[in-house]
Structure 1
Amino acid sequence: MMGVLHDPRAGRTKTQMDVAKALADARARIDAAAAAHVAPPRPAAPVVLPPAAVLSRQDGIGGSPLDPRLTFATFVTGRSNSLAHAAARQVADGLRGDPVMFNPLYIHAGVGLGKTHLLQALTWAVSSTPERKALYLTAEKFIFGFAAALKTKDGFAYKESLRGIDVLVIDDLQFLLGKLHLDLLGAAINAVIDAGRQVILAADRPASELEGLDQRTSSRLAAGLVVEMGKPDREQRRLILLERVAAARAHHPDFDIADSILDYLAEALASNGRDLEAVVNRLLAHSKLNGSAVTMDLAEREARDLVRPQEQRRIRIEDILRATASHFHVSRSDLMSARRTANIVKPRQLAMYLAKTLTLRSLPEIGRRFGGRDHTTVLHAVRKMERIIPTDADLGAAAEKIKNQLQEGI
């Protein structure tokens, strides 16, 4: 009987040699593949254009000037503006071709609460990338550009040029006056959105209070995201002060404000960010120009004219219509209708009177909100109420009750 053959050189069986050879071949193939493998190149860092190039791009496409200080880096976030900031960042961080999530984005806020800062920060961020174009326009610049194009019978070309913009930003819509301006705004919004591009709008009031806005544009705005930026809370105000002091120290390293003074200013100046910036500038001027130490007495003196009385709740014509209709047990549509029965006429005239005395709206604006009435009708109602309220106890009591409800937000 024959035995198993052995390899005299290795002292191993043939089966063992076959297994060893297969393992060596496999290892060789793995080593060869590893040697041939080249790691994929890392993606290049995104190109960021310098500020001068961004400003040149804006000027080249007819944009309004940008303030280099108004960037995301200097924008202080808090509860009052976190949603607006997040929405703006989402737009700024997007790429060309990304789906548009909130379109249009409509931001409204009172004076000095940071809406222009946020819009310009967004424009800086988008325009700093060569792949995308953002156009920032004030309402005045927007109307000037559109009107100039219409004058040269090139309005269609102007509207079409907006389709090439990735992000269209229009600020201070409250300065658009009359139906023509708002019709031009609607045409621009529709052109950009229909092209799949982003629109960002801002004003000092909700879109529903922009007088003369057509139905299609109103529905477009409602279909997007509407965000209100409120007043900063105390913590946010202190952070704003710290940011302004840090900005001043970049040029004046020895300038500083003690923590106790910052606490006082954050507590006293509760209206808006512009007051906070103003008081820091005043203290800086005293420090650098007069050599004065920044003391609590100096801070109190410089902040005195900036400390505002507690502001009353802002009242809208819509609120007046609702409250008046509820008090007199009629419908809002009754007050806006052409009906002239006694139980409708008196509440309607009282509501017009309250609209004139409790809001800053003009007589023509009030007339439009009351079913498209002429301003002379509103003036007649106001004068009539001024004449009879002092002598009609029931009507005077009704006016006072509705006014108190509106001011208390009931």
Structure 2
Amino acid sequence: MVAALVESRPADFDPEPAGALQASPVEAWDRVRRRLRAELGEDVFSSWFARVELGDIVDGVAYLTVPTRFLKSWLEAHYAERLRVNCMAELPALNGVMLSVRQVSRDMSQQPPAEIVALRSRPSTVTPAEPRPAQAGRQAEPCERDLVDACGTLLDRRMNFQAFIVGKSNQLAFAAAERIAAAPAGTAPYNPLYIHAGVGLGKTHLLQAIAQEARSQGKRVAYFTADRFMYGFVAALKSQTALAFKEKLRGIDLLVVDDVQFIQGKSIQQEFGHTINALIDAGKQIVVAGDRMANDLEALDERIRSRLGGGLVVEVGDLDEGLRGKILANRLDTLHAAHPNFHVNPDVVTYVARVVATNGRDLDGAANRLLAHATLSGQPVSLETAEAAIRDLVRTREPRRVKIEDIQKLVATRYNVSRADILSERRTAAVVKPRQIAMYLSKALTPRSLPEIGRRFGGRDHTTVLHAVRKIEKAITEDRSLHDEVDLLKRMLQE
């Protein structure tokens, strides 16, 4: 797979280390590990990267596996960009990197993942609401707070409709979710339902609530995160069970997919699109969540974006202060039930809800910090101690999300050319410079990969984008006026 990707690179591409053209995936991954060890030091590497393994490379996406969910979350939060950069340095034809948690209790090369086992072995006489046997290789039943859906994915019992705090920013999404969950099997009130929201605003809670409520009514439900859908499909291809995987997936009543923006790879996206079309044509309900509007999911195939945008599209907005107060009070009540001596004054709740203005996860963090202070110090929580405990959570809002289209329009206006000129094949100096600056800004200010940026600039190759980025990076170190000009563009885009 890697050899084929490397051979397809343009002739003028300057390879990295000698011999990389003939490298196997294992050799390339060994070089990535050496890079990380050299950059981060032995201690950091041993703590976070020693147990990361390369699973496979499919459609230009490197699938890396880790043994625990915690390690996956930590790497995604702290080292995702460094991991991606080093992988693409050794395998420049990669489009991206995906992390997933590997199952250590069985031989993954010989058996399909839990999703496929559950789909393939589920007897037709068993309804999804009935108790399910333990999955092969599991040492124990799921913990008490977890349920297992029709695809073997764990659902958190706590993420139900009763526990969801409703406010102005999410009431429409909540109403649509309840309507879909309560609809009889074979009906689709809003198809597809596409929910988009930023991090920590409750979209995963809503999706899990839909899946659990529908499951309790006897519907056949499949709940996937994007990485589990990709992993399941890739493993089905490797184990030659892809046909069974597709057929069983199309036999469900409700498909729920979270974080759709992370679905990568041409063949996987094609299968996802075929599944959506088949289920919609059969009158089956689809619920999908992403972190932005469907039309802004540049990495997804245009036909998938069109399908998602053609149903009911609902945004979960930012949490207002009143809603944050309700959410925080609910979290503190839960902690009080487990720690009866833990009390927080209403004035403190009001203060924390006012200053922690980002998302629900930061409110969880604030509640946990208040509990830690009260239990470790043995002192009541005052406004002064609360301020000290949550200081790191009080921060200004993140800069607004920058779109490639916004960059192109601003740069075109700044240099007195049209956006069509930037996307065209014109090679005059008056067009090439702003085009390269726009490519550089797209790489610096958006999470898009080089191939994605190239596609948004008139279908150019990723090596063209890489050349532009390197040229502008060098130019701004040598030309102070250009440095100030590019810096001004960055600030204008982020305001």
Q: TM-score range by the shorter chain?
A: 0.7 to 0.9
8 Å Cα contact 1:160/1:191 also seen in 2: no
In the TM superposition, residue 323 of structure 1 has moved relative to its aligned partner by 2.2
Matched, 1:62 2:119: no
Partner of 2:380: 293
SS of the equivalent of 1:72 reads coil
Partner of 2:326: 239
8 Å Cα contact 2:407/2:493 also seen in 1: yes
Partner of 1:12: none
Q: Is there any run of 5+ residues in structure 1 with no aligned partner, and where?
A: 1-47
Partner of 1:352: 439
1:4-58 CA deviation, whole Å, 9 max, x = no partner? xxxxxxxxxxxxxxxxxxxxxxxxxxxxxxxxxxxxxxxxxxxx969999x9996
In the TM superposition, residue 148 of structure 1 has moved relative to its aligned partner by 2.7
In the TM superposition, residue 269 of structure 1 has moved relative to its aligned partner by 0.7
- In our comparison, the structure showing a higher alpha carbon Rg is 1
| From 189, 207, 218, the counterpart of 1:119 | 207
| From 65, 81, 92, the counterpart of 2:181 | 92
Larger helix percent: 1
* CA–CA separation in structure 2 for the residues paired with 1:325 and 1:110: 29
RMSD in angstroms over aligned alpha carbons? 2.9
* CA–CA separation in structure 2 for the residues paired with 1:51 and 1:161: 19
* CA–CA separation in structure 1 for the residues paired with 2:233 and 2:479: 52
Q: Is there any run of 5+ residues in structure 2 with no aligned partner, and where?
A: 1-127, 134-140
Matches within 5 A, 1:101-116: 101-116=189-204
8 Å Cα contact 1:287/1:293 also seen in 2: yes
| From 164, 183, 199, the counterpart of 2:286 | 199
Distance 1:227 1:326, change over 3 A: farther
SS of the equivalent of 2:287 reads strand
8 Å Cα contact 1:269/1:306 also seen in 2: yes
1:90-123 CA deviation, whole Å, 9 max, x = no partner? 211212243x232222222222121111111111
Partner of 2:28: none
Identical counterparts, % of pairs: 51
In the TM superposition, residue 369 of structure 1 has moved relative to its aligned partner by 1.9
1:290-338 CA deviation, whole Å, 9 max, x = no partner? 5332222321122012222332211111211222233444443332232
Matched, 1:143 2:200: no
Partner of 1:216: 303
8 Å Cα contact 2:149/2:221 also seen in 1: no
In the TM superposition, residue 354 of structure 1 has moved relative to its aligned partner by 1.4
The AA in structure 1 aligned to 2:439 is M
1:206-239 CA deviation, whole Å, 9 max, x = no partner? 3334344223222211211233323211111101
Matched, 1:80 2:184: no
Report which structure shows greater RCO (CA 8 Å, sep ≥6): 1
SS of the equivalent of 1:137 reads strand
Q: TM-score, normalised by structure 2?
A: 0.66
| From 263, 268, 273, the counterpart of 2:355 | 268
1:52-104 CA deviation, whole Å, 9 max, x = no partner? 99x99963622421111111111112232222222212211212243x23222
Partner of 1:8: none
* CA–CA separation in structure 1 for the residues paired with 2:476 and 2:377: 57
Q: TM-score, normalised by structure 1?
A: 0.78
1:339-376 CA deviation, whole Å, 9 max, x = no partner? 22333222211111211222233333322221232232
The AA in structure 1 aligned to 2:333 is A
- Identify which range, 299-308 or 75-84, moves more after superposition: 75-84
Partner of 2:250: 163
* CA–CA separation in structure 2 for the residues paired with 1:129 and 1:177: 33
Distance 1:331 1:156, change over 3 A: farther
Paired residues, number: 358
Partner of 1:5: none
In the TM superposition, residue 396 of structure 1 has moved relative to its aligned partner by 6.0
SS of the equivalent of 2:422 reads helix
8 Å Cα contact 2:186/2:253 also seen in 1: no
Partner of 1:14: none
The AA in structure 1 aligned to 2:460 is R
SS of the equivalent of 2:148 reads helix
8 Å Cα contact 2:148/2:155 also seen in 1: no
8 Å Cα contact 1:325/1:332 also seen in 2: yes
In the TM superposition, residue 289 of structure 1 has moved relative to its aligned partner by 5.4
Distance 1:398 1:134, change over 3 A: same
* CA–CA separation in structure 2 for the residues paired with 1:58 and 1:189: 25
SS of the equivalent of 1:340 reads coil
